[in-house]
Amino acid sequence: MQPLKHKKRLVLVALILLLVGVFVLVWGRGKSVSRLADDLQGDDAKGRRHAARELAGLGSKAKEAVPALKEALKDPDKRVRYNAAKSLSKVGSDARPATGALIDALSDSDSGTRYYAAKTLAKLKLKGEDGQAAVPGLIGTLKDSNPRTRYYAVKCLQDIGAEAKQATAALREASRDADKDVRQAATGALKKLERKK
């Protein structure tokens, strides 16, 4: 008789754990993207940080929050700006409406925000007016302390192409960068610019 009671208890415990797991998956997954976007614009700094971090974790699913993420790049809290830039990077090409704010974020005081701004801009493969508008900020970013940030700035300038010819001197300097990846990318960007002449 004892083994039967023990098995019933185990089955009951397993069912309870299963129900708790389902509850966590369905209701405990966090807020919707639109709710997180609303929280990102709230008055509570802690709530904005949480919303930005949650959106960054959603990747491309956060694309409907791009307008709020764009505004969050101007937040006074550097952790909000960092996670907004990170989230936009994960959204990828759907982050295009935030291009102007991302260009401005290239000069952010936080190095992580600058990194994700440059990375996102590289994913957007800027052309035309957006490309031309980005060139001055990208030239400045070629002096960033983070070699990955410099690398993404070079990739942006390479993608912009002929419209980035004012970056030629800065790219020549970057072709002598201490980082091998930056040097190689800058050399490639210079070759592309010279072919377009």
Pair of tokens at residue 83? 């996670």
Q: Could you tell me the pLDDT band of residue 197, with boundaries at 50, 70 and 90?
A: low
For the domain made up of 125-197, give the CATH fold: Leucine-rich Repeat Variant (1.25.10)
Query: 135-157, pLDDT tens digit by residue?
Result: 999 999 999 999 999 999 999 99
What is the arithmetic mean of pLDDT over 15-27? 62
Q: What is the pLDDT of residues 26-73, one digit of tens each?
A: 443 557 999 999 999 999 999 999 999 899 889 889 999 999 999 999
- Arithmetic mean of pLDDT over the chain: 90
Q: Residues spanned by CATH 1.25.10.10 within the chain?
A: 32-97, 125-197
pLDDT at 31: 77
pLDDT for 26 equals 47
Beta-carbon contacts of 22 under 8 Å, excluding residues fewer than 6 positions away, are: none
Of 102, 134, 97, the closest CA to residue 115 belongs to: 102
Per-residue model confidence (pLDDT) at position 4: 62
- Residue range 32-97 forms a domain whose CATH class is mainly alpha
pLDDT at 5 over 80: no
CA–CA distances in Å: residue 46 to residues 27, 59, 76, 86: 22, 21, 12, 18
Supply the pLDDT for residue 38: 94
Confidence (pLDDT) at 120? 96
Structure confidence at residue 3 (pLDDT): 64
Residue 6, pLDDT > 80, answer: no
Yes or no: say if 77 and 45 are a contact pair by the CB < 8 Å rule. Answer: yes
pLDDT at 17 (0 to 100)? 77
Which residues are within 8 A (CB) of 107 and not within 5 positions of it... i.e. 6 or more apart? 114, 137, 140
What is the pTM (predicted TM-score) of this model? 0.81
Q: Considering the chain, what percentage of its residues have pLDDT values greater than 70?
A: 90
Strands (E), 78-163: none
Q: Report the length, in residues, of the chain.
A: 197
Residue 78 has φ and ψ, to the nearest 5°, of: -65, -30
